[in-house]
Amino acid sequence: MDRVGARLDQNFRAVLFAQIVSIQIEVEAGSNTFRADEDTFEDFEEGMLFTTSGFNANNGVFKIVSVSANHDSIVVDGPLAAGDEFGNGDEQLVAYVPDTGSMTLDIVNVTLTNPPVLPVLGDLDGLSVSNFVRTTGSFVDDGFVSGQRVSAFGFDQNQGDPDDNDGDFYRVLFVTPLTLTVLSELTPEAGDGDERLIVQGGRGRPINLFLTVRDGLEIAARLREPDVSMVGDLGQLLGDLLDDLVQGNPTDVGPVITSYLYNWIDEIEEGLRNWGEFGLGLTNALFNAQAKRDVQNEARRTLGDDTERGAEREEEVGLLDVLIAELDDPTLVNTLANGFEFSPRDKQGLLEADGVKARFEQLAALFDFILAQANTARTSNSGALH
């Protein structure tokens, strides 16, 4: 690709990652700091490379040393020059997507031993992960940082599969000049010169939150059982657990927890693939008055002629009630075909969903269900279970 073509390609990818429109950005040369309004730099992270334009004396490429807590300033590796103390409104900062370009990259699997503790993800000691290894250039200088997600190209067996638990992208855990460690455990592979890693663009706060939750779940699940093929079916495991409870046999909830974690991962990925429908449901919940009225009507209908209680129940209907109704059954005709579901309901009527709050509610309902069924069985035999 010629120089012009390469620049156009780079600019296109920059829009997918992090870009600030022309705004007023002040420069403190003495502390190598760019300053702007609060949350201006919310998409920028420590270690990231970005390009500046529109400044009087500080157009160039810089590496971020730190970002303030309220995202109104970033400190760079500098040096910055005097001449932009007040800004002129034409300044722009753009973080281009890190990209190795085609090169030789090997994949080596390792087991982490006393690794640094990462925010949110916690202790990774004993986790099997993979390293992308290069012999020339530098992942650090290319702008790769922990927390990013990379897509791999040019490999024979490790290009990402949207149908498996690793998804299309691999989360970056640690970065050194010659080694990039990712959360996934890949197939070891020797490179032949046409491999390439490119960072996934920012997805926005809500999706990034779900992706972070998903990564934490994967760590917990893989530390319990790294081989997903050895994890039993959740429905079958729940049935076996229930039988053991009823019959008074020794119980082991470990396999159920492991299966539940992997199942939750699958549901989050399914939810993200259907994110557009979630957005439509949220829009209706927020701005469609008829959507709320439909839920209120349904709530009142179940109370029959109790007018006073019906009015109270209408008042109790909130945003979350409307959103759940929209996702479960937008037309309120009680048919699953018209609803938004991450996976079919099983025989016990447990609906898998990818909301964090919903998951804890499901756990509570799950144990209530198990105890209720066990009580029913025990009552018919030798008395209630206490």
**pLDDT tens string 132-143:** 999 999 999 898
Is the confidence at residue 119, as pLDDT, over 80? no
Question: Of 150, 218, 216, 213, nearest to 180 (Cα)?
Answer: 150
Distance CA 323, CA 286 (A): 8
pLDDT given for residue 356 in this prediction: 44
Mean pLDDT value of segment 235-254: 85
pLDDT given for residue 49 in this prediction: 87
Mean pLDDT value of segment 102-121: 91
pLDDT given for residue 288 in this prediction: 85
pLDDT given for residue 184 in this prediction: 87
Mean pLDDT value of segment 72-97: 89
Is the confidence at residue 246, as pLDDT, over 90? no
**Structure-model confidence comparison of residues 309 and 375, the more confident one:** 309
Is the confidence at residue 264, as pLDDT, over 50? yes
Q: CB within 8 A of 143, min separation 6: which ones?
A: 47, 48, 49, 63, 95, 96, 98, 199
pLDDT given for residue 336 in this prediction: 31
- Percent of the chain surpassing pLDDT 90: 26
Is the confidence at residue 20, as pLDDT, over 60? no
Per-residue pLDDT reduced to its tens digit, 31-42: 999 999 888 888
pLDDT given for residue 58 in this prediction: 94
Mean pLDDT value of segment 124-147: 92
The token pair that represents 347 in the structure block = 């025989």
Per-residue pLDDT reduced to its tens digit, 339-361: 333 333 332 333 343 444 455 45
Is the confidence at residue 86, as pLDDT, over 50? yes
* Mean of all residue pLDDT scores within the chain: 77
Which domains are assigned to the chain?
3-95 (2.40.30), 98-201 (2.40.30), 228-380 (no CATH)
Distance CA 323, CA 233 (A): 30
Distance CA 304, CA 302 (A): 6
Mean pLDDT value of segment 48-65: 91
Question: Of 71, 60, 46, nearest to 93 (Cα)?
Answer: 60
Q: 364 vs 93, 225, 263, 350, 367, CA distance in Å?
A: 47, 24, 17, 12, 5
pLDDT given for residue 317 in this prediction: 85
Q: 52 vs 59, 76, 110, 193, CA distance in Å?
A: 5, 12, 38, 32
pLDDT given for residue 265 in this prediction: 86
Count the Cβ atoms, other than its own, within 10 Å of residue 172: 22
Query: Helices marked H in 136-288 — which ranges?
Result: 205-224, 234-247, 254-273, 275-287
Per-residue pLDDT reduced to its tens digit, 277-329: 777 877 888 888 888 888 888 887 777 666 677 788 888 888 888 887 777 75
Is the confidence at residue 28, as pLDDT, over 90? yes
pLDDT given for residue 130 in this prediction: 95
Is the confidence at residue 385, as pLDDT, over 60? no
pLDDT given for residue 108 in this prediction: 97
Helix H or strand E segment including 296: helix 289-301
Helix H or strand E segment including 289: helix 289-301
Distance CA 323, CA 280 (A): 10
Per-residue pLDDT reduced to its tens digit, 148-200: 889 899 998 886 544 444 445 888 999 999 999 999 889 999 999 999 999 88
pLDDT given for residue 148 in this prediction: 87
Cα separation of the two ends of the chain: 73
**Structure-model confidence comparison of residues 87 and 369, the more confident one:** 87
